[in-house]
């Protein structure tokens, strides 16, 4: 017996949906792929049984509730689209937000403090006035040992060993030719070991 690619996909959905049903009966909260498989399984069965599209859309909203799935799953499943086989042929069925309820934890959600967040508040900081004596822009990364920056940058290097720019990790500053810039430096943390110098 030979199956088309679409038929194989439908069999996989059916199989994974049956696995999800068994886990649900055991009281196991379903994850994202299990939830999608289970809902898709029911939609395919409804369609094959001859239910009209309007009833399927209504039934699909009551297949799972938020307390039957893991936190974050309802928010992840914004839409399910499945090509279902009806008695009069195949149709694309689209279900929006099939799981009712709101999770305690939403994937990708940020929970920020209302107070300001300060970088390296407990570390020593110093300021230096820098002059770019060169003829091109000089860029300095956030974690570069400031004592060893480009020789065309003129400033008082004394006391800057073991210090870096006090800027967010992965960012940088640019100093343009023949321009001054005042920078804030912060003491390097951790074991304070600087290699290569």
Percent of the chain whose pLDDT exceeds 70: 99
The CATH fold of domain 5-96: Urease; subunit A (3.30.280)
Residue-wise pLDDT tens digits, 127-175: 999 999 999 999 999 989 999 999 999 999 999 988 999 998 899 999 9
- pTM for the full model? 0.56
For the chain, domain boundaries: 5-96, 125-187
Length reported for the chain: 197
The CATH fold of domain 125-187: Urease, subunit B (2.10.150)
Residue-wise pLDDT tens digits, 82-94: 998 899 988 899 9
3-state secondary structure the chain: CCCCHHHHHHHHHHHHHHHHHHHHHCCCCECHHHHHHHHHHHHHHHHHCCCCHHHHHHHHHHCCEHHHECCCHHHHCCEEEEEEEECCEEEEEEEECCCECCCCCCCCCCCCCCCCCCCCCCCCEEEEEEEECCCCCEEEECCCCHHHCCCCEECCCCCCCCEEECCCCCCEEEECCCCEEEEEEEECCCCCCCCCC
């Amino acid at each position: 017996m030979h199956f088309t690619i679409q038929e194989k996909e439908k069999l996989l959905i059916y199989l994974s949906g049956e696995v999800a049903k068994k886990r649900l009966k055991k009281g196991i909260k379903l994850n994202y792929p299990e939830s999608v498989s289970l809902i898709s399984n029911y939609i395919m069965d409804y369609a094959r049984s001859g239910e009209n599209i309007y009833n399927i859309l209504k039934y699909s909203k009551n297949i799972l509730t938020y307390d039957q799935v893991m936190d974050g799953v309802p928010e992840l499943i914004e839409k399910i689209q499945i090509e279902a086989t009806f008695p009069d042929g195949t149709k694309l069925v689209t279900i929006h937000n099939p799981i009712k309820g709101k999770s305690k934890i939403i994937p990708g959600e940020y929970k920020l403090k209302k107070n300001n967040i300060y970088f390296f508040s407990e570390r020593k900081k110093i300021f230096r006035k820098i002059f770019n004596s060169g003829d091109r822009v000089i860029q300095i990364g956030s974690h570069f040992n400031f004592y060893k920056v480009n020789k065309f940058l003129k400033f008082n290097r004394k006391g800057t060993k073991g210090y870096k720019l006090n800027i967010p990790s992965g960012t940088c500053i640019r100093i343009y030719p023949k321009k001054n810039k005042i920078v804030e430096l912060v003491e390097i943390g951790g074991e304070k070991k600087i290699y290569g110098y």
